A and B are shown apart, each in its own frame.
Chain A
Amino acid sequence: MLKIKDLSVAVEGKQIIHDINMTIQTGETHVLFGPNGAGKSTLLMAIMGFPKYKVTRGSIHFKGKDITGLDVDERARLGIGMSFQRPPVVRGVTTRDMVSACLKGHGDGDAITKLAEKADLQEFLERDINYGFSGGEIKRSELMQLMAQRPELTLLDEPESGVDLVNIALIGELMNDLLEKDCPIADRRCMGLIITHTGHILDYVNARTGYVMCDGTIGCVGDPHEMLATIREKGYNECIKCYLGRMQLHEQK
Chain B
Amino acid sequence: MSKSKTSKTYEDQAKAAVNKAAAYGEDIDIKDYVNPEEKYPYQEDPSKLEKKTKKDMLDAGIILDDPAQRSGTYLQMDSTPVHFSASQEGVEVMALSQALEKHDWLTDYLWKAVPIDSDKYTANVELNDNDGYFIRALKGQKTVYPVQACLYMAQVKAVQNVHNVIIAEEGSELHIITGCATASPDEPGLHIGVSEFFIKKGARVTFTMIHNWNPEIAVRPRTVTIVEEGGLFLSNYVLMKPVNSLQMYPTARCDGEQATVRYNSILTAGKGTNLDVGSRVLLNAKNARTEIISRAITIGGNIVARGYIEGNAPDVKGHLECRGLILGERGTIHAIPELKGDLAGIDLSHEAAVGKIAEEEVEYLMARGLTKDEATAAIVRGFLRVDIEGLPPMLHAELKKAVAASEKDLM
Contacts and interface: CB of A to CB of B under 8 A. Distances in A.
Interface of A: 48, 50-51, 71-73, 76-77, 81-82, 84, 87-88, 90-93, 97-98, 101-102, 104, 128, 145, 149
Nearest to B353: A91
Contact of B358 (A88, A104, A149): A88
Given A72-B363, A88-B358, A90-B361, A149 B369 contact: yes
B369 A102 contact: yes
Contacts of A73: 366-367, 369-372, 375
B144 to A, nearest CB: 26
19 contacts: A50-B363, A73-B370, A76-B366, A76-B368, A76-B369, A77-B369, A82-B367, A84-B367, A88-B361, A90-B361, A92-B379, A92-B385, A93-B365, A93-B379, A98-B368, A101-B369, A102-B369, A149-B368, A149-B369
A101 B379 contact: no
Given A72-B363, A88-B358, A88-B360, A101 B368 contact: yes
Contacts of A98: 365, 368
B267 to A, nearest CB: 16
- Looking at A51, A73, A93, which has the most chain B CB atoms within 10 Å of its CB? A73
B23 to A, nearest CB: 32
Given A76-B366, A81-B368, A92-B385, 15 more contacts: A50-B363, A71-B366, A72-B367, A73-B366, A76-B368, A82-B367, A84-B367, A90-B364, A91-B382, A91-B383, A92-B383, A92-B384, A101-B365, A102-B368, A102-B369
Given A93-B378, A93-B379, A101-B378, A48 B364 contact: no
B381 interface: yes
Contacts of B385: 92
Interface in B338-394: 358, 360-361, 363-372, 374-375, 378-379, 381-385
A84 to B, nearest CB: 7
Contacts of A104: 369
Interface in B215-250: none
A51 B367 CA distance: 12
B370 A88 contact: no
Contact of A92 (B370, B375, B381): B381
Contact of B365 (A81, A90, A91, A92): A90
Nearest to A98: B368
Contacts of A84: 364, 367
Contacts of B367: 48, 50, 72-73, 76, 81-82, 84
Contacts of A149: 368-369
Given A72-B363, A84-B364, A90 B382 contact: yes
B310 to A, nearest CB: 28
Interface in B63-84: none
A84 B369 CA distance: 14
B402 to A, nearest CB: 16
B365 to A, nearest CB: 7
Interface string B243-266: 000000000000000000000000
Nearest to A128: B382
A145 B382 CA distance: 18
Nearest to B323: A91
A76 B312 CA distance: 55
A185 to B, nearest CB: 26
B362 to A, nearest CB: 9
A103 to B, nearest CB: 10
Contacts of A91: 382-383
Nearest to A87: B364
Contacts of B378: 90, 93, 97, 101
- Looking at B366, B370, B381, B385, which has the most chain A CB atoms within 10 Å of its CB? B366
A82 B369 CA distance: 11
Contacts of B368: 76, 81, 98, 101-102, 145, 149
Nearest to A146: B368
A4 B378 CA distance: 33
- Looking at A87, A93, A97, which has the most chain B CB atoms within 10 Å of its CB? A93
A143 B371 CA distance: 21
Contacts of A82: 367
B115 to A, nearest CB: 38
Nearest to B383: A92
Contacts of B363: 50-51, 72
B370 A90 contact: no
Contacts of B366: 71-73, 76
Contacts of B371: 73
A77 B366 CA distance: 9
A72 B361 CA distance: 13
A87 B363 CA distance: 10
Contacts of B382: 90-93, 97, 128
A51 B364 CA distance: 12
A98 B367 CA distance: 11
- 5 closest A-B pairs by beta carbon, nearest first, are A92-B382, A93-B382, A92-B385, A73-B366, A76-B369
Contacts of B379: 90, 92-93
A86 to B, nearest CB: 10
- Looking at B364, B369, B372, B381, which has the most chain A CB atoms within 10 Å of its CB? B369
A54 to B, nearest CB: 14
- Looking at B358, B364, B383, B384, which has the most chain A CB atoms within 10 Å of its CB? B364
A48 to B, nearest CB: 6
A31 B367 CA distance: 21
B179 to A, nearest CB: 25
A132 to B, nearest CB: 15
Nearest to B369: A76
A130 B237 CA distance: 28
Nearest to A77: B369
